[in-house]
Chains A and B, each alone.
Chain A
């Protein structure tokens, strides 16, 4: 395995993730439409929306600072980096050691801070409100996320996602109760971090309910397209982090190109299932009041801590 092919594969994977991410969003929307007994939109609708937005002229407020125009690109860049680090198809990623799971949480935090700053840039009341709520969810979700990741890190003795996948995927089949707790916690964090029901409703524009939408209210055209695309990549990345930690089967091992088609098939299957599950969760649950979010996320945190303690008990 030379470095050149490694880097080629690295690029290929990140481009694949970036291009495939809107498809996942389309699939979730389709499932949700079926569950709600509506006729489903096309699977490719997110792509059409992005193309439409890219063609439009951007409308920007008079007072916007350079930060406002820079932010969509930064968000996109952060998510691209995340997509390049997570082992989606194979564990042989030469750039993956550049950031471990803690740095990955840092990437998402960086994106969140830039989004919140851009929201406050124009000085509208909705922007500030969105920034405040987004940061609220952020500080509630981050400790829970780290605890989840710590549990996986303690089991595999590493904070490198690639190493974690290699350890977990090739272990003897055994039930890890700690991982079960961590998986539930991770699912809850995923819902919160990706602005899904029950924390936020991606389908509404009501000022009382919105978090994410309030942040990007002032954006239009290509800037909005980049942000929406970044959101899709974020969901994709979170789901694949989940697969890497809790269902790493099928990911091709280092240097093993023969199993790559199998890895693609396994990924497609897992994403289809996870997307359907996400749609089901969103169809069954109602959106919570904003100040129930702390309870929701502290439950996630406690579950993650429980998982970690169980790991120590079982092992020690």
Chain B
């Protein structure tokens, strides 16, 4: 048993819990939390990643822990799928945790102690979610994850906006948790216990299987941030301290994807293609909604949060395509879709964490979160600017970085559509791929906006700083932050340039889940080539791609220098000869979104005030709001208030009346229960 990946992961998990406990050590200036907690946490993360990777190739391991309630021991299980998500969790959290060591440098001891405690409990609970092998432990870990992240989100609980964001998050998290619990109940089918083995074995009629699927999809979707349950995401992410936003967006949303894959493919089994269509429709809506609202934001962290919504949509598109193919019995194409979805899950974790960390550096050192206050940061923060550029190119799905690989795989899945026997479904699949293409191009636009306005251009005078710039403003982030971002940026490059070996691992997982995968011969052909089905059908080689561009760029540079010259004169900007250019005449984040508001106007809820020509004090104002608030959230909230007001009538505040209630209840029970 010793040295097996499961034991190893458990040790890493316990290490996180131990770090959390040790952070409480009294001592001058919380020295443990300040010096050791985060570097040790990052090491534990790396170890967990290594064990997870090992698990993907090792046989399935199971373990029963004599903990929990009597007769309800905790079951643990580590298979390929769990191993993959442990790798994601460990590797991404290592970068974020390293960064956090620098980021939380200036916190007071009391706050730092609490943050370190909750932070590491949060990490451990996410690992436990992935390892759990019975519904009971799963729900315990799931709720621990929700609660620890709630406390992290409300770190700045003195601000009312943060408190209400935290409340919204907790509310939606619990709605989701109820749905997941009910889904486990349905899958259980009334016999046996609640271990996942029993749930796997339970035979469900199509009706109950669909009910279980819908509940799980709704429940996990609430955590993942798919529409219409996304509302907490753009509120909670900006409220949390930045490394926590990176963890939540990068990793916590992914545990929901893990849950979906686990429940749909593994526990329910017998995937139906109609389910796939539902997932595709929700995924397409989520993708477009996310990116279109991201384009309207000028708060950098909110913008990134909306992009998380979008990327969850992209993952759902891959997952949905996979389910459609599996439902029609096309296992190989289904495996390709699942590989695409899982690879995008990993890729999104890496680049979104990286982008959040970049935003965090700007927030901590400059005190800025509003894009319209930033400008020219590439000159004073060159390191942050470089890493952010890597992340921006990756999320924009540009070759040769990692975002492109998973989108490419999703396109390839859609191109397998002729395999389907159902004419309508066959023609629908490429249209969903077109949604993906549109979203990809819109993401590129959004990140041109972010990068162009924040890092390029001229420095603007801040009008809405969150706090005063940190001491010694004008400098770039420190060593720990830089290492954390470099680790994630390297991840973007490696996942983009050498995808073949990762895909081979993912294929193993698909074989275990679906009973069949992509032909291994194609994937195994070479580390250089990415060939999903056969070389004649499609191939892509990111290394050659990059090598050619770099070689040609370098060669051109040398040739121009050789045959001509490299002389440069510096001058004022040309700008069509206009001499009075100031920093306030630059593009703003809102101006950049103007074409989008024009083209997609009906999709937004816009409140705009345009001053009349003779207005002596003209003010232009624009508010973009989320329709879901008015169509879904507020009616539900009003209904809940109405119902609770009616129930409140029962509360009279007099003890005799309460005694009467008890008496009536007893009588009722005596009538019904004999």
Task: Point out the residues of chain A lying under 8 angstroms from B444, CB to CB.
Answer: 109, 112-113, 135, 138-139
Query: Quick one: which of A76, A120, A157 contacts B448, CB cutoff 8 A?
Result: A120
Query: Quick one: which of A77, A102, A103 contacts B556, CB cutoff 8 A?
Result: A77
Task: Point out the residues of chain A lying under 8 angstroms from B549, CB to CB.
Answer: 74, 77-78, 81
Mark each residue of chain A from 105 to 126: 1 if its CB lies under 8 Å from any CB of chain B, else 0: 0110110110011011111111
B404 interface residue per 8 A CB criterion: yes
27 residue pairs bridging A and B, Cβ less than 8 Å apart: A57-B568, A57-B569, A61-B573, A63-B379, A63-B458, A65-B456, A73-B556, A77-B548, A95-B548, A98-B541, A98-B548, A99-B540, A102-B408, A107-B399, A124-B574, A124-B575, A128-B457, A135-B441, A139-B445, A143-B437, A143-B438, A153-B415, A154-B418, A159-B412, A159-B538, A160-B539, A217-B575
- For the complex formed, measure the closest distance between the CB of A282 and the CB atoms of chain B, giving whole angstroms: 24
Query: Quick one: which of A110, A112, A121, A160 contacts B537, CB cutoff 8 A?
Result: A160
Q: Are A125 and B586 in contact (CB under 8 A)?
A: yes
A182 interface residue per 8 A CB criterion: no
Interface of A is mostly: helix
- For window 8-38 of A, CB contacts with B under 8 Å fall at none
Task: Point out the residues of chain B lying under 8 angstroms from A209, CB to CB.
Answer: none
Q: How many residues of A contact B (CB 8 A)?
A: 82
- For the complex formed, measure the closest distance between the CB of A298 and the CB atoms of chain B, giving whole angstroms: 9
Query: Quick one: which of B545, B553, B576, B595 contacts A207, CB cutoff 8 A?
Result: B576
CA distance A181 to B467 in the complex (A): 57
CA distance A316 to B421 in the complex (A): 9
Q: Are B544 and A218 in contact (CB under 8 A)?
A: no
CA distance A95 to B423 in the complex (A): 36
CA distance A62 to B452 in the complex (A): 17
Task: Point out the residues of chain A lying under 8 angstroms from B376, CB to CB.
Answer: 63, 123
CA distance A61 to B578 in the complex (A): 14
Mark each residue of chain A from 38 to 79: 1 if its CB lies under 8 Å from any CB of chain B, else 0: 000000000000000011011111110101000001101110
Task: Point out the residues of chain A lying under 8 angstroms from B575, CB to CB.
Answer: 122, 124-127, 217-218
CA distance A127 to B570 in the complex (A): 18
Interface residues of A (CB under 8 A from B): 54-55, 57-63, 65, 67, 73-74, 76-78, 80-81, 84, 95, 97-100, 102-103, 106-107, 109-110, 112-113, 116-117, 119-129, 131-133, 135-136, 138-140, 142-143, 146-147, 150, 153-154, 157-160, 163, 205, 207, 217-218, 220, 222, 226, 290-291, 294, 301, 305, 308-309, 312, 315-316
CA distance A205 to B574 in the complex (A): 14
CA distance A124 to B586 in the complex (A): 6
Task: Point out the residues of chain B lying under 8 angstroms from A124, CB to CB.
Answer: 573-575, 581, 585-586
B378 interface residue per 8 A CB criterion: yes
Query: Quick one: which of A107, A147, A316 contacts B434, CB cutoff 8 A?
Result: A147
Q: Are B411 and A102 in contact (CB under 8 A)?
A: yes
Also in contact, A122 and B573, with CB within 8 A (given A76-B553, A131-B587): yes
Pick the 5 closest A-B CB pairs, nearest first. Answer: A128-B587, A123-B457, A120-B452, A139-B441, A77-B553
Q: Are A312 and B423 in contact (CB under 8 A)?
A: yes
Q: Are A125 and B411 in contact (CB under 8 A)?
A: no
Q: Are A316 and B573 in contact (CB under 8 A)?
A: no
Task: Point out the residues of chain B lying under 8 angstroms from A116, CB to CB.
Answer: 448, 452
Q: Are B398 and A125 in contact (CB under 8 A)?
A: no
Q: Are B404 and A106 in contact (CB under 8 A)?
A: yes
Q: Counting chain B CB atoms within 10 Å of each CB, which of A74, A95, A143, A315 scores highest?
A: A143
- For window 399-454 of B, CB contacts with A under 8 Å fall at 399, 404, 408, 411-412, 414-415, 417-418, 423, 426-427, 430-431, 433-435, 437-438, 440-442, 444-445, 447-449, 451-453
B19 interface residue per 8 A CB criterion: no
Task: Point out the residues of chain A lying under 8 angstroms from B449, CB to CB.
Answer: 132, 135
Also in contact, A160 and B536, with CB within 8 A (given A103-B545, A110-B398, A113-B444): yes
Q: How many residues of B contact A (CB 8 A)?
A: 86
Nearest residue (CB) in A for B571 is A59
- For the complex formed, measure the closest distance between the CB of A21 and the CB atoms of chain B, giving whole angstroms: 14
Q: Are B448 and A55 in contact (CB under 8 A)?
A: no
Nearest residue (CB) in B for A116 is B448
16 more A-B residue pairs beyond the given contacts A58-B568, A120-B456, with a C-beta to C-beta distance below 8 A: A67-B389, A81-B548, A106-B404, A123-B456, A125-B587, A128-B452, A132-B587, A133-B595, A136-B599, A143-B438, A150-B414, A153-B415, A154-B415, A160-B538, A305-B434, A312-B426
CA distance A278 to B433 in the complex (A): 30
CA distance A73 to B556 in the complex (A): 7
Mark each residue of chain B from 557 to 593: 1 if its CB lies under 8 Å from any CB of chain A, else 0: 1001001110111111111101001010111000110
Q: Are A123 and B586 in contact (CB under 8 A)?
A: yes
B396 interface residue per 8 A CB criterion: yes
Also in contact, A120 and B453, with CB within 8 A (given A65-B378, A97-B529, A312-B426): yes
Q: Are B399 and A142 in contact (CB under 8 A)?
A: no
- For window 524-548 of B, CB contacts with A under 8 Å fall at 529, 535-541, 544-545, 548
- For the complex formed, measure the closest distance between the CB of B532 and the CB atoms of chain A, giving whole angstroms: 10
Q: Are A129 and B427 in contact (CB under 8 A)?
A: no
- For window 57-86 of B, CB contacts with A under 8 Å fall at none
